[in-house]
Chains A and B, each alone.
Chain A
Amino acid sequence: MNRKVIAVVIAIWIAGVMYAVFNLVPPVEGLGNLVRLAFFHIPVAWVSVLAFLVSAVTAGQYLRTRQLKYDWVSASSAKLGLLFCLLATVSGAVFAKLTWGAYWNWDPRQTTIFILFLLYGAYLALRSAIEEEERRAAVAAVYALLAFLTVPFLVFIIPRMYFSLHPEPVLNSVGKIDMEPVMLYVLLAALAGCTALFGLLLSSSVAGKTIPSGKGMDE
Chain B
Amino acid sequence: MPTVKLSFSSAVWAVLVKDTVCESRTRYAVGILVMFGLTSLSSVSMAVAGAALSPEFAAALLWVVLFFCAMAGLARVFVQEHETGTLLGLRLYAPGQAVFYGKLLFNQILLAGLSCLIVPLFIVFLNVNINEWVLFTLILALGDAGIAAVSTLTAAMVIYAQAKQAIFTVLTFPVFLPQFLSAIYATAKVLSGSAPAMEELVFMFGYDAAVVAAGVLLFDYLWQE
Contact B218 A146 (CB under 8 A): yes
Main secondary structure of the interface of B (DSSP, over half): helix
Total cross-chain contacts (CB, 8 A): 89
Asked, given contacts A157-B182, A161-B181, whether A145 binds B218 with beta carbons under 8 Å apart, the answer is yes
Segment at the B interface, from A32-40, A72-80, A125-133: A125-133
A141 at the interface (CB under 8 A from B): yes
Contact B161 A154 (CB under 8 A): no
Q: Which residue of B lies closest to A118 (CB)?
A: B174
A125-B167 in contact given A142-B157, A146-B214, A156-B203 (Cβ < 8 Å): yes
Contact: A153 with B161, CB < 8 Å?
Answer: no
Asked if B7 is at the interface (CB within 8 A of a chain A CB), the reply is: no
Query: Which of A122, A138, A141, A161 interacts with B171 by CB under 8 Å?
Result: A122
Q: How far is the CB of A89 from chain B (nearest CB, A)?
A: 15
In this complex, what residue of B is CB-closest to A160?
Answer: B185
Query: CB < 8 Å: which of B160, B182, B210, B221 contacts A63?
Result: B221
Interface of chain A: mostly helix, strand, loop or mixed? helix
Please judge, given known A-B contacts A119-B174, A126-B167, whether A161 and B161 are in contact too, CB under 8 Å.
no
Known A146-B214, A149-B211; judge A129-B162 contact (CB<8 A).
yes
Closest to B214 in A: A149
Contact B174 A122 (CB under 8 A): yes
Number of interface residues of B (CB under 8 A): 31
0 or 1 for each of B157-201: is its CB under 8 Å from A? (1 = yes): 110111100010011011101110110010000000000000000
Chain B residue with Cβ nearest A123: B171
Contacting pair B207 A129 (CB below 8 A): no
Are A146 and B175 in touch, CB under 8 angstroms?
Answer: yes
- Residues 214-225 of chain B, each 1 if its beta carbon lies under 8 Å from chain A, else 0: 100010011010
From A129, A150, A154, contact of B167 by CB (8 A): A129
Contact, CB under 8 Å: B177 / A115 = yes
B222 touches A150 (CB 8 A): no
Besides A63-B218, A153-B178, 9 other A-B contacts (C-beta < 8 A): A129-B167, A131-B160, A132-B160, A135-B160, A142-B218, A142-B221, A146-B218, A149-B211, A154-B177
